[in-house]
Amino acid sequence: MPEHDLISAGAPPGTTGDLPLLRDAAREAGVIAMRYFGNNPQVWMKGGTSPVSEADHAADAYLRETLLAARPDYGWLSEETADDPVRLSARRTFVVDPIDGTRGFLEGQRTWCVSVAVVEHGRTLAGVLECPAMNETYWALPGQGAFRNGKRIAVRKLADTAEISGLKQLTDLMPADWQARLKRAPYSPSLAYRLAMIANGALDATFVKPNAHDWDIAAADLILREAGGQLLDQHGRAPLYAGEVTRHGALAAGSGELLAVLAGVIAGLDA
């Protein structure tokens, strides 16, 4: 089925209009961010450890103005905007990270992205990752597949060697027979992009250390799920988004037997 038919058939009511809105806004936010990429933008530290740049603020301001002008009844949750509990009364919420992977962005790495999603009742209804330095755009709607640059994508079948990302402390907890099959993937500071790599068949799985936030994963979660993978918490459940608590514990992403092994590892962290 052609892409334009996929995004108009079977999606939750209203989301077919949200997806083009998200794609257009994310694309322009990517253009804004690229003006700063490699040009030494001004940087501040949040909480003493996490960098934020004028590029993050510029992209966030554009997205907030554009998206809320189009959907004034939606809530707003963004990494770079002070959280307003008023959003909890909205039926749908924009969940945004204007630059996911800011640290890598500032170091000149290309694997960063603009992440935008629409969430209702804790579930992502539309998700877009705009990755302008990689010339890639990912998007998904529930039940209609995931796409990269207009082509449908899927997780890859597990081979004899599994390529995995995430904390070594967690991979070291995997069974010995699995550890013997692992190949460590180069680290990407953008969690959203790592999940997109799994969705696109470029990576098999990743552990996600505790303290990921909704804006890091809401869009990528849907893209991964529609590509045949899953993102699971320590109880084996899919995360919920845009609630009162926006921070998550350890997570595991992947598919099939390998995901089951990763999920078992993080489940044991509570033991």
- Mark the binding-site residues for Mg(2+), compressed into ranges: 79, 97, 99-100, 216
Query: Is the distance from CB of 122 to CB of 241 less than 8 angstroms?
Result: yes
| CA distances, 250 to each of 155, 159, 235, 254, 270 (Å) | 21, 25, 10, 14, 10
186 contacts: CB under 8 Å, gap ≥ 6: 165
Binding residues: 79, 97, 99-100, 216
Report the sign of the C-alpha dihedral through residues 246, 252, 254, 259, in that order: negative
The whole-angstrom separation of Cα 242 and Cα 233 is 16
- Whose structure tokens read 């190949």? 183
